[in-house]
Amino acid sequence: MTRLGSSEKQLERLKTTNTDVEVRFGSTEEQLDQLKNDTAELVSRLRSSEKQMEDLKTANTDMEVRLGSTEVQLDQLKTHTAVLEVRLRVGERQLEEQKTENSVLFSQMESRLTDELNRTTELVIRLRSNEKQLERLKTTNTDVEVRLGSTEGQLDQLKNHTAGLEVRLRVSERQLEEQKTTNSEFETKLSAVTFRLNVTKEQLDDLKKQSLVRAAELATFSERLTAALGNTAEELNVAFSAGLTDSGKVGPFDEETTLIFSKTITNIGQAYNSSAGVFTAPVRGLYFFSFTAADYLKGYMGLYLYRNEHPIIFSLDLNDHGGYTSTTSAVALQLDEGDRVRLALPASYRLYDDSRNFSVFSGFLLFPV
């Protein structure tokens, strides 16, 4: 009876121990399920990263290598998880066979589970780091595209300005040659008049009349030459550049709207009114104008360039891929003094600008005429 009582007590203790083991194994299974869910989430996030990396693979070979390494690590994690599942099943069978070694086996399982959780946490951290690097790379690519577009626009403006200077130089040289020719002809005619002064009084009167006519012509030509070449420096030095806004998007509007490029970058001669967005020609001459417009949403973008109330250019572009894009146009216009030039945004169209000056309006005087 004593041995039977002792056996019953041992049986009760064994039942209590089995209950604890079952509870601890239930907790282990919950942690394992959570680990599987975390692994599935990691697989989903990794596939999303792979798609984003495919879009940038031409410029991001280093990221592809790192992503490949992440995939290898994920495969290793899957393999290790499968091994853990096998080992867990073996442990369950061993638990039934060797109840006396439950505490030792459970300690081993807890240790292994902790290691696996640590590895999973490390993989999550590395994946987040990859995602942050991907975002930084996207931002860097966008900035590079914007800076490249700005550099190309500045290069085109510099080429146009150089061409204008060459034209003005040729015109000045041609006018100088014409002046020399006119002066030579006048000197020849004046010598002839001096020679004929000794002929007759009538011829002298005729020569005087001709001299007066030639003098008037020379005076007229001199006035025209002075108007063309002898203007003051302030009248001939005309150039401006202005950015659109720092507030982001502009438009869409219900009707066509004059754009006010309010951020004055350069305004030599004060011919551009930054409050109205209008350039007024101070002298009659040939002027060069250019503008760049930008946006980042899919759809059409465009601008009208007006001389007074007459449209001269309509620049249109389609942003069919989304993201930052820009359009640039330029034109040379002969303007009379007081003519006005402005840019207008068509109804339902929109633009974008900020402190980086994506959208810019520029112009300058090539030469007076």
The length of the chain in residues reads: 369
Q: What type of residue sits at position 72? A: V
CA distances from 117 to 13, 20, 38 (A): 33, 23, 10
The token pair that represents 49 in the structure block: 């990263």
Residue 215, pLDDT > 90, answer no
Average pLDDT, the chain: 76
Cross-strand bridge partners of residue 268: 239
pLDDT of 163 over the 50 cut? yes
pLDDT number for residue 264: 92
Burial tier of 5 (Cβ tally within 10 Å: 0-12, 13-18, 19+): exposed
The CA–CA distances, whole Å, from 317 to 326, 329, 342 equal: 8, 11, 19
Amino acid at 221: F
* pLDDT confidence of residue 152: 62
Per-residue pLDDT at 74: 73
The residue that leads in pLDDT, 66 or 54, is 54
Structural contact between residues 49 and 134, judged by C-beta atoms closer than 8 angstroms: yes
CA dihedral sign, ordered 64, 69, 71, 72: positive
Residues 346, 238 contacting (CB under 8 angstroms) = no
Residue keyed to tokens 């780091």: 129
**What's 284's DSSP letter?**
S
Neighbours of 82 (CB within 10 A): 10
C-alpha dihedral, 139 to 143 to 149 to 153, nearest 10°: 160
Given a cut of 60, is residue 265 above it in pLDDT? yes
pLDDT band at 155 (very low <50, low <70, confident <90, very high): low
In terms of pLDDT, which residue wins out, 224 or 166?
A: 166
Helix (H) / strand (E) element for 273: namely: strand 272-273
